[in-house]
Chain A
Amino acid sequence: MTQAECKVVKASEINPRFKYEISKMHGAEKLMRCFQCGTCTSDCPIARYSESYRPRQIIRMAQLGLEDRILDSDTLWLCASCFTCTDRCPQDVEVASVIRVLRNLAAERGHIPQVFREQFSSILESGYAYKIPELRVKRRELLGLPPLPKGNSESIRKTLRGLKPEKFFENNGGY
């Protein structure tokens, strides 16, 4: 989010229940403890190079209930999940996990970067998050490595059936 986009907060944009809703989700339980000290942002390696990603700001927006602004923003997907913020938060807020909860909710709205879509369909197909080229598989023998364990596609699909975000899993899973 750029500064300009953040200037005015309209009351109609606010979902006052948002903070209670996400506080029930695993990882975001301690959201309301945040007192905005800014340790997360000042220690964040991404914030150092990004002009828009500020974990403190995202946490504050979540507390304020600016649901749409957070969930519809690409900024949310910049977190590298290094967990520095989580480990250093003096209030014990699991900042990286709150961001993950918010991403899960954004995913339910269909906001999912392509890289995740590709990894997911590959997992369903082969068990592996990447499509491992046949050459690589063959080369293992040359390198003296044992054959790669195979993924059980049917079984993986079965265990993931009906999960949220439903559309994502349906479209990718083909069931």
Chain B
Amino acid sequence: MSKGRYLIFLGCAIPYRVSAFEVSARKVLAKLGVELVEMPEFNCCGLPLDPVSHEAMLVLAARNLALAEQKGLDIITLCPGCAGTLKKVNRMLKEDGALRHSINQRLKEVGLEFKGTIEAKHLMQVLIEDIGLERVKDSVIKPLTALSVAEHNGCHILRPKEFIGFDDPEDPKTLKTLIEATGARCLDYLEETECCGAPSVGVNDKIALQLARNKLNHVKAVKAEAMITICPFCHIMYDTNELRIEKMFNETYGIPILHYPQLLGLAMGFQPEELGFSELRVDASRILDKTKGGK
């Protein structure tokens, strides 16, 4: 499969409320020479329905894979939840003939068939495996050497290892490496691989926000100037909810939460307004001033 052309799978959360991730990802991918083709038709990857019906999840994921096969393109996703689901179902259906047959019976009703001819990858995996660290580094014209940040991978880009498999869930390196490629320092902190809590929102908000608070406390403790995420849900948890967490637990953070492609975009020389910085809830002007050369 061509490494320069992908079908972009946006998922649901990004068009719903995380536009800055999409805006910045499209900018940096174009700069790296990647061509994105839009999905001909969309349905949710299936993950939100897995707790209610595993089979419904399989069918929804398989539909998307079958649509991508018709286009003859690998899928790139920005959401790790979508990436994890599409990867897992792709492998399950490739390996299990009986399961493939039963899902295909359903797809046949609407003129689709899963054949198992494409792959699904997350943006981060495309950056590190297909584009390669060297090309990412070469694209940096304005190294962000004045910045010290912390990373937050989130769960579904790492676990379960059996299906995701490109990084070590206990000591993930990919995002750190990609952050360092921009020239910024990536700080270590306590419990880096812990969950942000997002999946528990709606079931028990208080527990969810306590998880996010715990991480923000650790990030604050190492004096990170920003937190870098690669998942729309983690981003909502920290950026959209930061003020709420501050009020609820009587904390102060003021830590801007950036999507990784926003950070890379700055290092590539894009202007903040081209990277959706105005969409962020937590004010990022302090780090933007610093990357301009300081005031």
With both chains docked as a complex, state the minimum distance between the C-beta of A166 and any C-beta of chain B, in angstroms: 10
Residues of A within 8 A of B147 (CB): none
Let me know if B54 and A104 touch, CB within 8 A.
yes
B195 within 8 A of A: yes
Quick one: which of B1-59 are within 8 Å of A by CB?
A: 10, 12-13, 15-17, 19, 22-23, 26, 38-44, 48-56, 59
Q: How many Å lie between the Cα of A25 and that of B207 in the bound state?
A: 30
Whether a CB of chain A sits under 8 angstroms from the CB of B203 is: yes
Cβ-based interface call for B200 (8 A): yes
CA distance A109 to B207 in the complex (A): 26
Q: Given A46-B207, A84-B195 in contact, is the A164-B19 Cβ separation under 8 Å?
A: no
Q: Answer yes or no: A1 CB below 8 A from chain B CBs.
A: no
Tell yes or no: A115 within 8 A of B by CB.
yes
Closest to B99 in A: A26
Which of A87, A101, A143, A159 meets B19, CB within 8 Å? A143
Given contacts A87-B169, A100-B50, A119-B48, contact A139 B19 (CB under 8 A): yes
* A contact residues, total (Cβ < 8 Å): 60
Q: Does B161 contact A (CB under 8 A)?
A: yes
Interface check A39, CB cutoff 8 A: no
Contacts of A26 in B (CB 8 A): 54
B210 interface residue (CB < 8 Å to A):
yes
Known interface pairs A145-B19, A148-B42; A80-B197 also in contact (CB < 8 Å): yes
Given known contacts A46-B207, A128-B12, A128-B44, A160 and B160 CB-to-CB distance under 8 angstroms: no
Q: Are B56 and A163 in contact (CB under 8 A)?
A: yes
Q: Which residue of A lies closest to B163 (CB)?
A: A83
Q: How far is the CA of A165 from the CA of B56 in the complex (A)?
A: 10
- A144 cross-chain contacts in B, Cβ below 8 A: 23
Q: Which residues of B contact A137 (CB under 8 A)?
A: 15
- Distance of A55 from chain B, by nearest CB (Å): 13
Q: Which of B40, B53, B200 contacts A80 (CB 8 A)?
A: B200
B60 on interface, CB distance cutoff 8 Å: yes
A82 to B170 alpha-carbon distance, docked (Å): 13
Name B187-232 residues within 8 Å CB distance of A. Answer: 193-195, 197-200, 202-204, 206-208, 210-211
A45 touches B195 (CB 8 A): yes
A–B complex contacts, Cβ < 8 Å, 16 sampled: A49-B207, A81-B50, A81-B51, A83-B156, A100-B51, A116-B51, A123-B48, A127-B43, A130-B12, A143-B276, A148-B10, A149-B40, A152-B43, A156-B43, A159-B110, A161-B109
Q: Which residues of A contact B (CB under 8 A)?
A: 26-27, 45-46, 49-50, 77-84, 86-87, 94, 96, 100-101, 103-104, 107, 112-116, 119-120, 123, 127-130, 132, 136-137, 139-140, 143-146, 148-152, 155-156, 158-161, 163-165, 168-169
